[in-house]
Amino acid sequence: MEAGASVKSTRLSDESSGAHEVYLPEKAPLEWGIAALLFILSVLYLWPFCLISTLNPDEGIALQGAQRILSGQVLYRDFFSFLTPGSYYWLALRFKIFGDSFLVARAALPLYGGIFSAVTYLLARRVCSRWIAALTAYLLLIVGLPFRFLVLHNWDSMLLAFLALYCAVRLLETRGWGWAFATGTLASLTFLFEQSKGTGLILGLALGFFLIAFRQTHRPFLNRSCCLAMLAGLAWPVVVTLVYFASMHCLVPMLADWFWPLQHYSGANRLTYGYITIPFDAWDELYGGKLAHRVLNIILTSPFFILPVLPFLAVGVGAFHTYRMRKENRVGGASSYYVLTCATSLGLVLSTVATGRPDSTHFFYVGPPLLLVLVWIVGGRPVPSQLLAKVQPLCVALVLIGFTAFGMALLVSGPLTPKARLATRRGVLALSGPDAVIPYVLKDVAAGERIFIYPYQPIYYYLTATFSPTRYEYLQLGMHAPEQMKEAMDELATDRTKVVLYTLSFNSETVSELWPATPQHVLATDPVRDFIFSRYRPCRSLESFRWRYVYMVRRDLGCPGEISSP
């Protein structure tokens, strides 16, 4: 019996049958203290990442959307997004309260990491030893947020989904209507921050509850009040959202934008299962050469290969405990915990499959519940196996070494070695490389002015405090429909925008690496590019460590510093 187990918490009381009770860490003050310590340490570890930027274009989508909202625009009515509204308004609220800066936007991420660590520990501790549960939090801390330390809807929605899983587990253990209401509310909010992840979460929870209910022969584990509370929790955030956007006279555009990805998103974004987004020329560098070099880099990049395997392990663990649940025949036991967690993890993974993006990056986004499956295997022994018990120390060592090496590479390439500092209108950033674009724009374009950046770099809008003259923060061939391209060109022509930033190699090089499913015939013709070249003239080529840009002005205007003829 571990310390703090004054509560009855027999572990592996019937190892041969796989039936055992879970340990309830919430009833031990020591466990709460450990969870709080993990929260604090995680926040401190992640804080240095806050001002390190790779100028990732994805990060600019929510940032710039929040700027539009603060300027009085309404999502879906005044600008386009195929995402549900949560991240935009959540970020705008933070800017409204704490000030509009890049640091304010990023400051939420260390807090997210702290919550991830604390909740991971509490969930893992139910069936694992204290040090294995702490190891789970450590693995998530060093490879989760640091891999994609960006202000994205993915992390907002994953935090809500993980909290929903925790509340669902507590519901199994207490059968309290408060936990049922919290589970429904958090699942609904997950949907309102990202519709695909929210749908996957709800389906996963429903599957888990169904399997548990199907195997409980003596009495239903959810009474009427719990079911009603969960339905009420699911309903109220959606009702509030529908009423708000209906009052803004944009209910129909909102629903159209929500369903837009079903016809457009996957066409360009479809990737194979476990696809690793590493540039083509880096594969030989990583996995070529001498055997020792290859082995070292395989260990270093092992999370890329481990995470896609975990859903299959979740299927096995879930199936085993679904079969064993009848012998346990009680709610709140370990088997019901395993089944619910595995079903929820699979629902989240299936949401990435349904959108066509089950790539390595998106496995990191759904990593918190998947890492629970990993530590069960290497440390918790969810399935009785003498072989697993014998190789457990080796499995723990390999996972610890591989994830630590991966995490240290992220730390060294990020906060420990910033290569440049950049002053922007949203604060000073430390960059992974030099950027000449933002300083040039700041000298020539006033805050609040409209410029057009094509095809895809919305974070420049945010950092230069400028706006797109169109309803779109970016336009991507193969994903946006031709009529949307036409709409953007009409808005650009009507606005008579002075400045355009055009990315030279995006369609020719970047698309083939990050969106390889994009049809080549789509890339062969670019109406927006042709429109820009017909009405704008190049002034200067500007280098950035990500891409090279051409600064262009309208043909009837002079370039910055150019002396006009009399």
Q: How far apart are the C-alpha atoms of 413 and 421, rounded to whole Å?
A: 15
Ramachandran angles phi, psi of 125, nearest 5°:
-65, -20
Say if 292 falls within a structural domain. yes
Tell me, yes or no, whether 345 and 373 share the same domain. Answer: yes
- Which H or E run contains 389? helix 386-413
Report the greatest alpha carbon distance in the chain: 94
Strand spans (E) along 434-547: 451-454, 499-503, 536-543
Last residue of a domain, one of 413, 444, 465: 413
* Domain-terminating residue out of 349, 383, 413: 413
Q: Could you write out the DSSP letters of every residue in 282-311?
A: HHHHHH-SSHHHHHHHHHHTHHHHHGGGHH
Query: 448: which residues sit within 8 A by CB, 6+ positions away?
Result: 465, 466, 467
pLDDT digits (tens, 9 = 90+) for 300-318: 888 999 999 999 999 999 9
Phi, psi of 446 (to 5 degrees): -75, 155
**Cα–Cα distance between 113 and 139 in angstroms, integer?**
12
- Does one domain contain both 383 and 437? no
Q: What is the DSSP letter of 237?
A: H
Of the candidates 192, 224, 186, which has an alpha carbon nearest to the alpha carbon of residue 205?
186
- Mark which of 383, 413, 443 sits at the end of a domain: 413
DSSP code at position 515: -
The whole-angstrom separation of Cα 270 and Cα 275 is: 10
In a domain, 430, yes or no: yes
Residue 268 near residue 517, CB atoms below 8 Å: yes
Distance (Å, whole) CA 424 – CA 422: 6
Structure-block tokens of residue 242: 């529908």
Residues 267 and 186 both lie in one domain: yes
Strands 536-543 and 420-424 turn out to be unpaired
Instruction: Give the E-state strand segments of 255-375 in sequence order.
Output: none
The residues, ordered by sequence, that sit 6+ positions from 1 with a Cβ below 8 Å of its Cβ are: 9
- Output the tens digit of pLDDT for each of the chain's 566 residues: 343 333 343 343 333 333 457 889 999 999 999 999 999 999 999 999 998 999 999 999 999 999 999 999 999 999 999 999 999 999 999 999 999 999 999 999 999 999 999 999 999 999 988 999 999 999 999 999 999 999 999 999 999 999 999 999 999 888 889 999 999 999 999 999 999 999 999 999 999 999 888 766 556 677 888 899 999 999 999 999 999 999 999 999 999 999 998 888 777 788 889 888 776 666 677 777 777 777 888 888 889 999 999 999 999 999 988 888 776 665 557 888 999 999 999 999 999 999 888 988 999 999 999 999 998 888 767 777 777 777 778 888 889 999 999 999 999 888 888 778 999 999 999 998 899 999 999 999 999 999 999 999 999 999 999 999 999 999 999 899 999 999 999 999 999 999 999 998 888 888 888 888 888 888 889 999 999 999 999 999 999 988 899 999 999 999 987 655 44
Whether residue 37 is contained in a domain is answered as no
| pLDDT confidence of residue 214 | 76
Same domain (yes/no): 225, 111? yes
On whether residue 4 sits in a domain, the answer given is no
* Domain with 459 in it: 424-554
Does 39 fall in a domain? no
349 and 438 housed in the same domain = no
Distance (Å, whole) CA 412 – CA 400: 18
Based on the domain organization, do 304 and 357 belong to the same domain?
yes
- Please spell the DSSP secondary structure of 1-14, one letter per residue: --TTTTS---SSTB
Q: Is residue 60 part of a domain?
A: no
DSSP 336: H
pLDDT at 330: 57
Q: Does a structural domain hold residue 89?
A: yes
Tens digits of residue pLDDT in 252-300 = 999 999 999 888 877 778 888 988 877 666 667 777 777 777 788 888 8
153 & 185 share domain: yes
Distance CA 263, CA 261 (A): 5
Which token pair is 316? 């096995």
Tokens describing residue 223: 């009474």
Answer yes or no: are the C-beta atoms of 46 and 110 closer than 8 Å. Answer: yes
Mark whether 223 and 81 lie in a shared domain: yes
Residue 452 sits in the same domain as residue 377: no
Q: How many domains does the chain have?
A: 2
Same-domain pairing of 96 and 196: yes
Q: Which amino acid is at 460?
A: Y
Q: What is the 3-state secondary structure (H, E, C) of 196-210?
A: HHHHHHHHHHHHHHH
Quickly list DSSP for 69-81: HHTT--BTTTB--
Beta-bridge partner residues of 163: none
Q: 302 and 180 in one domain?
A: yes
Peptide bond into 455 cis (omega under 30): yes
Q: What gap in Å lies between CA 338 and CA 22, rounded to an integer?
A: 10
d(CA 180, CA 164): 10
Tell whether 444 and 402 lie within a shared domain.
no
Q: Has residue 31 been placed in a domain? A: no
Q: Which amino acid is at 510?
A: T
Distances (CA, A) of 530 to 451, 486, 489, 553: 17, 12, 10, 15
449/281 Cα distance (integer angstroms):
39
